[in-house]
Chains A and B, each alone.
Chain A
Amino acid sequence: MNTAVLSRHQQVSSGSLSGGMIASLVFHGFVIGLMIFGLPHIHKPPPIPETAISIEILDIAEERQSPNPPVDAPQPKEPPKPEELIAKKQELPKAPPKVEAKEPPKAVPVKAPEPPKKVVKPKPKVPPPPTEALKEPEPEPEPEPVKEEESAPEQDQFASLLRNLQEAEAQPDVPDINPEAQNPAPSPLAKFSQQLTMSEFDALRMQLSRCWSIQAGARYAEDLVVEVRLSVGPDKRVIRSGVVDQGRYNSDSFFRAAADSAIRAVHSPMCDPLILPDGKYEVWKQMVINFDPREML
């Protein structure tokens, strides 16, 4: 009897001991894991840009030594041919748009047109990917941008968004240049992965800048900062794009217009394909582009 009780007691004790052991192991494992993965300052170098700057300087130097255009620069293509356009036309699916009812946008005056009775929505259409022949000729391949050479034309391109005759009179030689627009952009190092060099980063930024049209004069335009998430294929073409802040996109018409402009930029022919480095697909296959107009306004 006593033996049986003791045996049961030992079984219970050993059972609770093993449970406690496991719990202790898991807890210690969690603490160790937290120290390794959860505290970035232990296993990651601090985000001080010195390391990145050294890499970038090396890379720029390398580019200066190489007069050849980058391998991934867009290649010139043949202009479209009429026969191929006709062939292309035949490939397109025929999907008549869907029609659905919608309320009128405004009150109907005596002489005003009747309110809209129908709103037309197309069925989702998946056209075939554009063929080479339908594309506009791609721009000439250009060498990797060198900062000093790019600065002058950039000033011309990004002329003042808001005209001011007073400033123009004071500085007649540069009437349309906004001094703020000439300031170089802040260093992106704080947000930028160290796996791309500054040159590669600048090339991408410059390309996107040329594709992005800012809505100057829009109300509260400085608040219309749009984040666009991109999925990019190995051919450096945008596979998928989406606005990060969908809630604001669906509720704020100004933000939606700015977001649409950003989406158009990443799908623009001038940004197709994107200027991205070879051999780093894992780095840029997913990215977030932050279109921020505040410096331009």
Chain B
Amino acid sequence: MRYILAFCVLIFAAMPARAQLQVDVTKGTVQALPIAVSPFHAQRPEFNDLARDIPDIITNNLRSSGLFAPLNPGAFIQDSASIHADGPRFAEWRAINAQALVSGSVTQAPDGRTRVEFRLWDVMTQQQMSGMAYMTTPQNWRRIAHIISDDVYKRITGEDGYFDTRIVYIAEYGPATQRVKRLAIMDQDGANNRYLTDERTLVLTPRFSPTAQEITYMSYRGGSPRVYLYNIDTGRQELLGNFPNMTFAPRFSPDGNRVIMSMSSRGNTDIYELDLRTRKPRRLTSHTGIDTAPSYAPDGRQLVFESDRGGQQQLYVMDSNGQNVRRISFGSGRYANPVWSPRGDLIAFIKMQQGQFFIGVMRPDGQGERLITGGRHVEGPSWSPNGRVLTYFKEEVTAGGTGRQSKLYTIDITGYNERLLPTPRDGSDPAWSPINP
């Protein structure tokens, strides 16, 4: 009896007296997040420069992503010392329309090193979203700023950041007939530019290892184009593989243990894979058409490449053993230089149509093609490690109309926020590094 009564009570109690109001919001805005990056609090006067410069770098990084709209520090009501002592007064940050706040301090740790601390606040909910402290030497201040930028980016967007990264590229200068092309490397924001090779050798198509401080590239060292490996830490260069013919278009596998490339022989070009541990090559395609520009999927199980086996340059996907080849590009024009996104959802490519070059993205099954930028000559797309941003180079006629210049750019995969990457000279063939170790 008691059980029956209890059962009945439970049944009736579980019935809602009235359905809760539900509202579907299916539209929104695409706006950069208004964020306030406060100057950091300096414990001592000698930290004043760091307390000013680190927030400046963070501000610049966040603004360059296009996803954040850093507010003008002149509008800030609360100062850094007050935040450090009392915490943020959220009403004042809300009054200047900040939705997030970055605050921090620079102090000296007991062991003598510099301690940089930051906190990310949600102004609307008045909660701390993230907080970290880093101990380092003052010389690493730029890197600290990039790491903090990555933390902020990840907490707000959910994706890993890409600010603590580098870009390797081909630095170009000199007249067209004697163009100098050197391997160069810089931080993703253009700082700390340096050259890795000298002026004597022409180099092309550098690609970063996803797991090590190594670069593979094509060099005309010795007169014949061959694929080389460059160790950034030691500066050591070595010829990759003992191929009898010209090799080019190298790219690392996702695990960093293999390099895939093209080899041209007797007028035909096919794709080969080289195991970096055993140095044994393996042929993956065997077709009379020109197969080149291979790029692995992030899981290493498939790769995308370009081929004219159908009569025109198009994109194809195949399993990593060379089987199950299928075409994925079917639009008008020619497709080339495919690069699989590190997050796996898109393939970037070059499209040539009616005398114009475009950079586009499509899903790995060939659907959802979008052309996100274009010009007289745009080429060399390379993904940021989080798969959110592409870097590429664009050749343009100079202002006087007499010469050409080649500059590096970045663009968000939405097709917005195209930005010029500052380089001391002309640049081409950019390749993004993974997050710095």
Measured CB to CB, the residues of A under 8 A from B are 19, 22-23, 26-27, 29-30, 33-34, 37-38, 80, 85, 88-89, 92, 94-97, 102, 105-107, 109, 111-122, 125, 127, 130-131, 134-136, 154, 157-159, 161-166, 181, 185-186, 188, 191-193, 196, 201, 204-205, 208-210, 212-220, 241, 252-258, 260, 263-265, 267-269, 283-284, 286-296
Answer whether A29 and B8 are a contact pair too, CB < 8 Å, given A113-B136, A157-B29: yes
Q: Which 5 A-B pairs have the closest CB atoms?
A: A163-B415, A257-B158, A113-B136, A212-B28, A254-B158
Bound form: Cα–Cα A107–B158 in Å: 21
A89 touches B89 (CB 8 A): yes
**Cross-chain contact B28 with A291 (CB below 8 angstroms):** yes
**B137: nearest chain-A partner, CB-CB:** A113
B126 closest partner in A (C-beta)? A127
The CA-CA distance from A252 to B33 in the complex, in Å, is 21
- Contact between chains at B414 and A264 (CB < 8 Å): no
Of the candidates A27, A158, A163, which one forms a contact with B416 in the assembled complex, judged by CB atoms under 8 Å apart?
A163
Of all chain A residues, the one with the shortest Cβ separation from B368 is: A162
Residue B91 CB within 8 A of the other chain: yes
Which one of B85, B134, B414 contacts A161 once the chains associate, using CB atoms below 8 Å? B414
How many whole Å from A155's CB to the nearest CB in chain B?
A: 11
Q: How far is B24's CA from A186's CA once the two chains are assembled, in angstroms?
A: 9
Residues of B within 8 A of A268 (CB): 99, 124
Residues of A within 8 A of B147 (CB): 105, 113
Q: A120-B117, A165-B358, A258-B158 are in contact. Are A192 and B95 (CB under 8 A)?
A: no
Q: Which of A125, A213, A217 contacts B31 (CB 8 A)?
A: A213
Contact residues in B for A26 (Cβ distance below 8 Å)? 1, 4-5, 8
Interface residues of B (CB under 8 A from A): 1, 4-5, 7-8, 11-12, 15, 19-31, 33, 67, 77-78, 85-87, 89-92, 94-95, 97, 99, 113, 116-117, 119, 122, 124-126, 128-129, 131-137, 140, 143-144, 147, 151, 154-159, 343, 345, 358, 369-374, 387-388, 412-416, 435-437
A220 contacts across to B, CB distance below 8 A: 345
B376 nearest CB across to chain A (Å)? 14
Q: Does A205 lie within 8 Å of B28, measured CB to CB? A: no
Q: How far is the CA of A163 from the CA of B125 in the complex (A)?
A: 32
Q: Is the interface of A mostly helix, strand, loop or mixed?
A: mixed
- Cβ contacts A to B, 30 pairs, < 8 Å: A23-B1, A26-B1, A30-B4, A112-B143, A114-B113, A116-B133, A117-B135, A118-B133, A121-B128, A122-B131, A125-B87, A134-B94, A135-B95, A136-B97, A163-B416, A164-B371, A165-B370, A185-B24, A191-B24, A193-B22, A205-B24, A214-B29, A218-B157, A258-B158, A260-B122, A260-B129, A260-B156, A265-B28, A290-B24, A295-B27
Contact of B89 among A92, A97, A264 (CB under 8 A): A92
Do B128 and A122 touch across chains, with their CB atoms under 8 A apart?
yes
B414 CB to nearest A CB, Å = 4
A296 to B29, CA, bound (A): 9
How many Å from the CB of A227 to the closest CB on chain B?
9
* Contact A165 B374, beta carbon cutoff 8 Å: yes
B437 cross-chain contacts in A, Cβ below 8 A: 106-107, 109, 112
Give chain B nearest CB distance to A294 CB in angstroms: 7
- Find out whether the CB atom of B133 lies under 8 angstroms from the CB atom of A30: no
Query: Known contacts A154-B27, A185-B26, A214-B28: does B158 contact A253 (CB below 8 Å)?
Result: yes
Which residues of chain B are near A130, meaning CB under 8 Å? 91, 94
Closest residue on chain A to residue B388 by CB atoms: A217
Q: Is the CB of B11 within 8 A of A97?
A: no
Which of B1, B4, B91, B436 meets A134, CB within 8 Å?
Answer: B91
Contacting residue for B21 out of A88, A253, A286, CB 8 A? A286
Docked CA distance A253–B343 (Å) = 15
Residues on A with C-beta less than 8 A from B1 are 19, 22-23, 26
Q: Known contacts A26-B5, A136-B97, A263-B125: does B23 contact A162 (CB below 8 Å)? A: no
